[in-house]
Chain A
Amino acid sequence: MKRLVTLAASAAVILGAAQISQAADYPTKAITYIVPYNPGGESDVTARFQESYFKDVAGQDVVIQYKPGAGGATAWAQLNGFEPDGYTVMNVNFPHAILQPSMKDVGYQTEDVKPAFVFHYTPDAILVRADSPYQTLQDLIDDAKANPGATTFSGSGTNSANHLATVRFDQMAGTKSTYIPFKGSAPSMAALLGGQVKAAMSYTTQGIKAGDQVRVLAIATEERVAAYPDVPTFKELGFDYVAGAYRGVTLPKDAPAEVRQKLSDIIGAINAKPEFRQKMEENGYVVTDIPHDKVDQFIADRRAEYASAIEALKAAN
């Protein structure tokens, strides 16, 4: 009997050690990075940027896969079905991951997709066509107040960052705009450029992509963005609005804490690289450093921030 116990105990120790050592050596092989959208979007581009530095920092390659569907919900709902060994990680977006479960039953809860690290955000920006009559944000607000419901904003998806931003904008400015959802940022921008809508509620990244064809009316950052030195922030214009789409890297919730910590460290290290930061900022992304121990607070803050807008959305439905 005693022998059996000793045997069992040693087995447990060995297995445990193996687990820990596996975690300690993480990563020992290539990691699958799932992007829950179609290629070409912000999530994809930033993942690609990370990919090029991943080998330096972590010693292993990253294999990017796409699982688009339902604005990200399909992939996030499947996250916890993957092996929680840290070799399958996923991109996760806020506000989407908070909004979607609040509005509908999408197969996951926000806690299920808690990120290990939130590494950037794309600031909300209001874009209009270069030949638009709106020269400043005030022009747009005046027009919106004079004709309630007539200002059309194009944006990507329903219950998404763009959608939320439009609702919050209405709340702040006291206007009533109409949000027109499109299947992605590219069609949303095309609608703007084709004159189908009056403005686009989008991100700085889309503005940079469109170059001279658009005018940016305002950006939701603390300070003016380097790429757009002449564009005022919402704060300057009197609106306390600093927001955008935050993106992080997450892994199945049952992954060992060690692995989560390591992943957080890796992403943080990539974020620290000056070339990476420069690439991101040139393209309109604002790098943030929210490691895994700060993530809970981050999510709580965002929930508070979005609370009244979510109420408004629910009421409208």
Chain B
Amino acid sequence: MASPMKIRARMNGDAAQIRILAVHPMETGLRKDGAGKPIPAHYVQTLTVDVAGKRVARYEVGTSVSKNPLFGFRVRGVKAGDKVVASWVDNKGDTRTDEAVIE
């Protein structure tokens, strides 16, 4: 069971600043554990963000991205009270969807 994402969305002028902190190990598959055995790759492949039912961002994420990655962007044409839905899918097929409201 994946840990929940932390989402912070705030209006700043005419645009909303949206920040999404995903909790994920982001293993590249190149590291080895203490016993010398390779740690299997485990990383987020795509992250999608919808605001008020409309797709505003789609990230193609790979192994070069750090553990517990932070995604941030500004988006116009939204208003306070809109629902932000973020969702990721990783290479093992796990998925996690979380919601927040623009402040």
Say if A and B assemble together.
no
